[in-house]
């Protein structure tokens, strides 16, 4: 079976750099919502931001492009992504609070 850009998928992204305290999670949530994606963004204890997003593959790729630049005050060093199967587990896109 071949995949198309509209196939549902999921992506797990870890964003490195100056990405906490710069409204990165809100930025990610705003973009994900605009693109019709579901999932979450949360700060991790090591200073990174974790993003889990699900939806159309093309829209996920658009989100990753935005994560690579971030909001104006952010300084993104890199974004590491891992693709997986769509789960349908999330009903919207949420900002989660600090996770250890």
Q: Which residues are catalytic?
A: 25, 43
**Which DSSP letter does residue 2 get?**
-
β-strands 38-43, 93-95 pairing = parallel
Nearest to 7 by CA among 67, 74, 72, 57: 57
Return the residue matching tokens 């990753």: 64
In a 3-state reduction of DSSP, which class is residue 66?
Answer: helix
């Amino acid at each position: 079976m071949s995949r198309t850009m509209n196939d549902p998928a999921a992506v797990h992204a870890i964003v490195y750099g100056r990405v906490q305290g710069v409204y990165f999670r809100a930025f990610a949530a705003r973009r994900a919502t605009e693109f019709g994606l579901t999932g979450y963004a949360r700060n991790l204890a090591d200073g990174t931001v974790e993003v889990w997003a699900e939806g159309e593959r093309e829209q996920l790729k658009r989100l990753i492009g935005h994560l690579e630049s971030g909001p104006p005050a952010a300084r993104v060093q890199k974004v590491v992504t891992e693709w997986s199967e769509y789960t349908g587990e999330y009903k919207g896109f949420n900002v989660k609070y600090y996770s250890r």
